[in-house]
Amino acid sequence: MKIRCQKADLLKGVNFVSKAVPTKTTMAILECILIDASSGEIKLTANNMELGIETIINGTIEERGIVALDAKIFSDIVRKLPDNEVTIETDASFNTKITCEKAKFFNVGKSGEDFSYIPVVTRNQPIIISQYTLREIIRKTIFTVPDKDNNKMMTGELLEIKDGKLKAVALDGHRVSIRYVDLKDATNDVNVVVPKNTLNEIIKIIDGGVDDFVNIFVTDNHIVFEFDQTTVVSRIIQGEFFKIEQMLSADYETKVKINKKDLLDCIDRANTIVNEGDKKPIIVNVSDNVMSLSVTSFIGSMNEDIDIVKEGKDIMIGFNPKFVMDALKAIDDEEINLYMLNAKSPCFIKDDEGTYIYIVLPVNFNNPGAN
C-alpha cells in the first residue's frame, strides 16, 4: 500500500476514529486503526465492538492495500508531523514507513485480516437532524446517566421520535432529565436506547453548527450516525426503557420563579462547607418572595436568601446539591420555574415551552431548624 494525504486531513480522520479505540481489550487488533485503501478511497476505521467509527479522508492512492497500525502510536506520530504532505507506505510484511518532509518513521503494522469492520447496516429512510441540535440535546441530558450500573438499561439514554418530535430521556435512581426538540422533516417513529459511551463520543465528533446535518438510521441492533465522510455505528441496548410517563403528570402545590444564576451561585457557595461524600443536603425553605437556602455540616453552616416569585403554599424541602446544580447548568434560561408538591415528592424544573423537564428527588433532612 502507498498513499499520500495532507497531515491535517489525516489527523482529523485519526482523531475521529480514535474515539472508538478501546482503552482495554484482550484483542490486540482492536487497538489498531485500520487504513483501508483497497478500493478507490482511503478509509480509516476503529471498532471497540460496541462502537465503530469509519471515516474517508482525502488523498491519493498510489498502490492499493490495507494495513492496521497501533492506534496510540500512529496518532501520536501523526499529531507531531510537520503540517505538510504525508506518505504512508507498506511492504509485503506490513513494515510501514511514514514520511513527511525530512521526517521518516518506521514501524511494524498488521495485516488487518482479523480486524472487525463496522457492521453493514441496512439504511432505511434517515432521520435528518442538525449537528448542533443533536449535540445539545445529548449534552444537556447525558450527565444524568450513571457511568456504571448493574441494570444495563440505566447505562443508556432513550432517544424517542414520535409525532415529529425527538425526545431524549436520561435518568438514574435520583433524577430524570428530559429534552424535546421538533424535527423539521417528518420521519418514522423510533424508540432506541443508546449507550452513554457512544453518545459521549458522538458529541465530541459532531462539532458542526445548525446548518450541518447528521443522518441517523436505526435498525433492530444498531444506530448509525452519518455525516460528512464519517459513519458511526453503535450497538443499542436491547429491552424496554423505564416508564416515566406517570411521573410527568405530577401535580404541584408550590411554584417558584427564580433567577437561575442566583440559585446556582448560592448552591455553589453552600457546597464549600460540604465535604465530598458527606451527603449533606441543602435545605430549601420557600416562603413569600424569599427562598432561604441553608446547609450545616461538620465544617460549619451557611445560609442565604434569594428573591423569588412564589405561587401556592410555603414548603421546606431538602436536596442533594449536586443534582440540582447539574440540572441548572444544563439550562440556558435566565429565569426558571420550580414545581414542588411536598417534601417527599420530586421537584420539577421545566419551561413553559416544553423543551425540557428536569426532575430531582428530594432527600430527607434531620435538622431543618439549623441556623
- Residues near its own copies (CB under 8 A) are 70, 73, 76-77, 79-82, 102-108, 265-266, 268-269, 271-273, 299-306, 371
Give the nearer residue to its own copies in terms of CB position, either 85 or 228: 85
- Between 108 and 128, name the residue whose CB sits nearer to its own copies: 108
Contact 336, 262 (CB under 8 A): no
Nearer to its own copies, 189 or 288 (CB): 288
Give the Cβ contact number of residue 87 at 10 Å.
Answer: 16
Cell 447525558 appears where?
142
Which candidate, 66, 67, 53, 68, places its Cα nearest to that of 17? 53
**Which residues have a Cβ under 8 Å from the Cβ of 89 and sit 6 or more positions away?**
1, 2, 3, 63, 96, 97, 98, 99
Q: How far apart are CA 338 and CA 348, in angstroms?
A: 6
Looking at the Cβ atoms of 76 and 332, the one nearer to its own copies is 76
Please report the beta strands in 13-118, taking only residues with DSSP state E, as ranges in sequence order. Answer: 32-37, 42-47, 51-57, 60-63, 65-70, 85-90, 95-100, 103-108
Task: Provide the b/e sequence for 3-32 (b: ≥16 CB within 10 Å).
Answer: bbbbbebbbbbbebbbbbbbeeeeeebbbb
Question: What's the Rg (C-alpha) of the chain?
Answer: 25
Task: Confirm if 262 and 291 have CB atoms less than 8 A apart.
Answer: no
Q: Which amino acid is present at 302?
A: M
From the CB of 273, what's the least distance to its own copies, in Å?
Answer: 7
Between 111 and 303, CB nearer to its own copies: 303
Sign of CA dihedral 109, 36, 92, 116: positive
Q: Cβ distance 30 to 116 under 8 Å?
A: yes
CB of 42 to its own copies, least distance (A): 21
CB of 229 to its own copies, least distance (A): 26
Nearer Cβ to its own copies, position 205 or 274?
Answer: 274
Minimum CB–partner distance for residue 82 and its own copies (Å): 7
Least separation in angstroms between CB 334 and its own copies: 17
CB of 302 to its own copies, least distance (A): 5
Residue 43: CB atoms within 10 A of its CB come to 20
- What is the smallest separation between the CB atom of 299 and its own copies, expressed in angstroms? 6
φ, ψ dihedrals at 326, nearest 5°: -55, -45
Helices 131-139 and 196-205, axial angle in degrees (round to 10):
140
CB nearer its own copies, residue 36 or residue 70: 70
Nearer to its own copies, 107 or 219 (CB): 107
Would you give the DSSP letter of residue 185?
Answer: S
Closest distance of CB 305 from its own copies, Å: 5
Q: How far is the CB of 227 from its own copies (least distance, A)?
A: 30
Name which of 104 and 162 has its Cβ closer to its own copies.
104
Task: From 244, 352, 345, select the one nearest 360 (Cα to Cα).
Answer: 345
